Chains A and B, each alone.
Chain A
Amino acid sequence: MIKFELSKMLQGAKGEMVLSVDLEIKEGEFLALSGVSGSGKTTLLRIVAGLEKAKGTISVGDEVWQDAAFSLPPQKRKIGYVFQDYALFPNMTVLENLLFVNKDLVLAERLLELTELRDMKERLPNSLSGGQQQRVSMCRAMMNRPKLLLMDEPLSALDPKMRTKLQDEILKLHKEFGTTTIMVSHDPSEMYRLASRVVVLEEGKIISDGNPKEVLLKTQGSQKFSFEGELLDITKVDVICVAIVSIGQQLVEVVVSSQEAENLKIGQKVTVSTKAFAPMIV
């Protein structure tokens, strides 16, 4: 069991805010940490890694990493950290990057095998694609057999196809090593595929905590097909009205009756929803 009870005053977008997180993570759990920018996700990872100071306690199994009187230095905490921008040593080969952490050649070879990087072990990082570099960085994070793997939006710089491939590799590594993992992510499909638990932070506090479907599935009453959007326009045609709503990067049209349209104002946030029985997938 990994336990945090942490608090820290942060400078948020809307002035000062208190990051206050009380979390228990089971061994082997894959936890996705979500929330808007500035909600404290990266700060929380950095505190757990010992890169930033905060009040409170961190215990990992029977080891104490931090309490009121003591803070274990970052290099002594058994963590792996994967950053968005890979952070590899450019002058070392792939294999050297791994062995720098720990001179365990057997483990390095096994990790490179698992992530299909064996043929590239003598190459320098800048001769690899972004996806390959991030795989190297994931392997390197596993080299000291971490008790806790921290990943800060590891796939957000990659294109969707590479992202899916790396999600598979992350799953493979997680299955093989069973490392307790905390991954910061904004991508619902990524969290659904990888995580067994999703925690959402807002203004430094946990506002939602549960299995991915509970947390991520947007519902409105009994309607399971639901999206948040902004009402851009309403046009009357014949006896009906056509509402244009922007959802994510897309515009959609929804037919509403004149009576339904009476309660709608241009610019307002709306939920567009229907029952799970209605939409078609083609």
Chain B
Amino acid sequence: MSILKASIEKIDCVETLNIVTFVCAGQKLQMVSLELPTDIQVGKKVKLICKPTAVALAKPTGDLESFCAMLSYSNQLRVEVDTVEKGQLLSTILLTLGAFSLESLTSTEAVERLELQKGDAVIALIKANELSILELLDD
């Protein structure tokens, strides 16, 4: 399980539907959600949570900006590979995002295709519906 601390930068709302924009370690994250608790407001700090099964990885070779511009993922985080634990079929990759750790569960075949190893700069891709607020932080 990955837990990130982030501050709320923007909330876009249509009736009961919301898209919340956060900043975490200098990078933008977005979450789509139904009704939000009333204490979730711009400027507040929260813990975000994401299932490792929802984190995909990309290792672009060319220009990063133009690569990212072509993808619909709301969350495209520039992260570094910390550890790779290869299973027979599935692998767990721990990624570093600033002071936080992000976990990705993906197929071992993909890990080998991308030749992922410690220190690699990769993009973590997460759809906005896969990100949720775990709790509001006090400060």
- A: which residues have CB within 8 A of B? 235, 237-238, 240, 242, 253, 255, 277-278, 280, 282
Closest chain A residue, CB of each to CB of B130:
A278
Q: Which residue of B34, B51, B54, B132 is within 8 Å of A242 (Cβ)?
A: B34
In whole angstroms, how far apart are the Cα atoms of A180 and B14 in the complex? 60
In whole angstroms, how far apart are the Cα atoms of A242 and B51 in the complex? 22
When distances are taken between beta carbons in the complex, the residues of chain A under 8 Å from B16 are: 235, 237, 242
Pick 10 A–B contacts, CB within 8 A, sort by A. Answer: A237-B16, A237-B17, A238-B15, A240-B17, A255-B129, A277-B51, A278-B53, A278-B54, A280-B132, A282-B49
In whole angstroms, how far apart are the Cα atoms of A238 and B33 in the complex? 12
- B: which residues have CB within 8 A of A? 1, 14-17, 34, 49, 51, 53-54, 105, 129, 132, 134
When distances are taken between beta carbons in the complex, the residues of chain B under 8 Å from A280 are: 1, 49, 51, 132
A234: min CB distance to chain B, Å: 13
B52: min CB distance to chain A, Å: 9
When distances are taken between beta carbons in the complex, the residues of chain A under 8 Å from B132 are: 280
When distances are taken between beta carbons in the complex, the residues of chain A under 8 Å from B15 are: 237-238
Other than the given A240-B17, A280-B49, A280-B132, 5 more pairs (CB < 8 A) read A237-B14, A237-B15, A255-B34, A278-B53, A278-B54
B34 touches A238 (CB 8 A): no
Closest chain B residue, CB of each to CB of A242:
B34
Closest chain B residue, CB of each to CB of A240:
B17
Q: Which residue of A253, A278, A282 is within 8 Å of B34 (Cβ)?
A: A253
In whole angstroms, how far apart are the Cα atoms of A106 and B54 in the complex? 59
Q: Which residue of A235, A238, A278 is within 8 Å of B14 (Cβ)?
A: A238
A278 touches B17 (CB 8 A): no
A156: min CB distance to chain B, Å: 35
In whole angstroms, how far apart are the Cα atoms of A238 and B15 in the complex? 8
Closest chain A residue, CB of each to CB of B129:
A255
B58: min CB distance to chain A, Å: 20
Closest chain A residue, CB of each to CB of B54:
A278
Q: Which residue of A237, A238, A255, A278 is within 8 Å of B51 (Cβ)?
A: A278
In whole angstroms, how far apart are the Cα atoms of A282 and B49 in the complex? 10
B17 touches A238 (CB 8 A): yes
B17 touches A282 (CB 8 A): no
Closest chain B residue, CB of each to CB of A253:
B34
In whole angstroms, how far apart are the Cα atoms of A277 and B106 in the complex? 12
A275: min CB distance to chain B, Å: 9
When distances are taken between beta carbons in the complex, the residues of chain A under 8 Å from B14 are: 237-238
Closest 6 CB pairs of A and B: A277-B53, A237-B17, A238-B14, A237-B15, A238-B17, A237-B16
Closest chain A residue, CB of each to CB of B52:
A277
Closest chain B residue, CB of each to CB of A236:
B15
